[in-house]
Amino acid sequence: MQKINLLGYRLEQLIELFQQMGLQKLDAKRVYPWIHVKRVKDFDVMSDVPLSVRDFCKEHFSLDRGKCVHRQISRDGTQKALLEMADGEKIETVLIPDDDRMTVCVSSQIGCAMGCKFCHTGTQSLVRNLSASEIIGQILFWQDQCDITNIVFMGMGEPLMNFESVESALSLLLSPQAHNYSRHRITISTSGIVNDSFLKLAELGVPLAISLHAPNDQKRNALMPINFRYPLKMLLEAAKEYRRISNTKHITFEYLLLKDVNDSREDAIQLVRLLHGLACKVNLIRYNDWPMSRFARTSEDRVNAFAFELKKRGIMATVRQSKGDDIFAACGQLKTQIIS
Ligand code: SF4
């Protein structure tokens, strides 16, 4: 019988589970901080939990972070791990050291149904959603090795298509009685799904990054099929609403520069017009090539020229340092390398 992984249970859920299984509310209250504050991996060390309860927990529950079946370390220190879940499925998670930050990039789904043309995960169809335990497990996997300062939901999958698990994981990460991260240290990235979850996320006040990647609907339709459902006008109106509700300083737009696709001066000028009136920041991203991709990386000169055009017209723009190029650190790439 597969054990129940407790990592994604909020306190009220843990109490309910314990009571359903004949344990006491107090047992759940004792176990909870061991999982999320002391972050132990083993029920045996929970010294204030009665021995009989610890034995019961060992038999029925787990605190598994996933089994690391492959690991790569980039020249720049970025690390990527392939974790095997209890059912044998595999997911990727990445650790990105940068000055005084240790950022973990987590996956929210196995595969992805969004089919973005430039993305390697988009070539793998959706297998299943991850549970909240499997999401928290990725963070604890790295936390066991170093202190994590920031968390980004930018790995495999679309977080808003698995909102139930993402919301539970967020509530554990933000809770002062659990992981106690500041909301400013967490970022959720979306391909632009403007559903009910979008506004629920805004209420949690977590910073949002929208993968934009194009300055008009025609180009975005060609790169991101989700744009047919939620075109730019709808997306940008929702972004304004998100900023208002979440009370975040700005919305971040991710813009992947693809050679001769969306990297011209005209594209930059259109992008400025599109974002007019919205408190935002644009993160320009250099493309990480992957085998069989039909896109190519924009030259350094062109990246700088694009950033210059944005800044000249008053848009806050940064060029994101490319991390982990030598280990295929764009989403979904390690898994495909190992499995294929
Ligand atoms: S970029 Fe994100 S949303 Fe698009 S296919 Fe890849 S994982 Fe899915």
| Confidence (pLDDT) at 339 | 37
Closest by Cα among 276, 260, 210 to 238: 210
User: Taking phi first (over 0 means left), then psi (-120 to 50 degrees means alpha), and beta for anything else, what does residue 105 get?
Assistant: beta
Neighbours of 336 (CB within 10 A): 17
| Confidence (pLDDT) at 294 | 86
Span from the CA of 42 to the centroid of ligand 1 (angstroms)? 35
212 lines ligand 1 (CB under 6 A): no
| Confidence (pLDDT) at 293 | 81
Closest by Cα among 191, 184, 199, 193 to 151: 184
| Confidence (pLDDT) at 340 | 30
158 lines ligand 1 (CB under 6 A): yes
303 lines ligand 1 (CB under 6 A): no
Catalytically active residues, by annotation: 92, 331
Contact 172, 32 (CB under 8 A): no
The tokens 């006040």 sit on which residue? 205
Q: Which amino acid is at 86?
A: A
| Confidence (pLDDT) at 20 | 98
Cβ-proximal residues to 86 (8 Å cutoff; 6+ apart), any chain: 2, 3, 5, 62, 64
| Confidence (pLDDT) at 332 | 42
d(CA 125, CA 12): 34
Nearest CA to ligand 1 atom 5: 122
Span from the CA of 2 to the centroid of ligand 1 (angstroms)? 30
Span from the CA of 36 to the centroid of ligand 1 (angstroms)? 29
Q: Are strands 79-84 and 316-320 parallel, antiparallel or unpaired?
A: unpaired
| Confidence (pLDDT) at 288 | 78
Please give the structure tokens belonging to residue 223: 């790169």
User: What residue ranges in the chain does DSSP mark as E strands?
Assistant: 4-5, 61-62, 67-73, 79-84, 90-98, 101-105, 109-110, 128-129, 150-153, 186-190, 208-211, 251-257, 280-286, 316-320
Q: Which amino acid is at 26?
A: L
In tens digits, what is the pLDDT along the chain, a chain of 340 residues? 789 999 999 999 999 999 999 999 999 999 999 999 999 999 999 999 999 999 999 999 999 999 999 999 988 889 999 999 999 999 999 999 988 999 999 999 999 999 999 888 777 789 999 999 999 999 999 999 999 999 999 999 999 999 999 999 999 999 999 999 999 999 999 999 999 999 999 999 999 999 999 999 999 999 999 999 999 999 999 999 999 999 999 999 999 999 999 999 999 999 999 999 999 999 999 887 777 788 999 999 999 999 999 999 999 999 976 555 554 444 444 444 433 3
112 lines ligand 1 (CB under 6 A): yes
Ligand 1 pocket: which of 91, 94, 119 to mutate (most atoms <8 Å of CB)?
Answer: 119
| Spans of all domains in the chain | 4-62, 67-339
The tokens 């991390």 sit on which residue? 323
Nearest CA to ligand 1 atom 4: 116
Ligand 1 pocket: which of 94, 108, 116, 285 to mutate (most atoms <8 Å of CB)?
Answer: 116
Contact 161, 170 (CB under 8 A): no
Span from the CA of 128 to the centroid of ligand 1 (angstroms)? 14
Q: Which atom of ligand 1 is nearest to the CA of 190?
A: 3
Go through 14-44 and write b for each residue having 16 or more CB atoms within 10 A of its CB, e for each that does not: bbebbeeeebeeebbebbbbbbbeebbeebe
| Class level of CATH domain 67-339 | alpha beta
Neighbours of 111 (CB within 10 A): 20
Span from the CA of 224 to the centroid of ligand 1 (angstroms)? 9
191 lines ligand 1 (CB under 6 A): yes
Q: Which atom of ligand 1 is nearest to the CA of 189?
A: 2
Question: What's the topology of domain 4-62?
Answer: DNA polymerase; domain 1 (1.10.150)
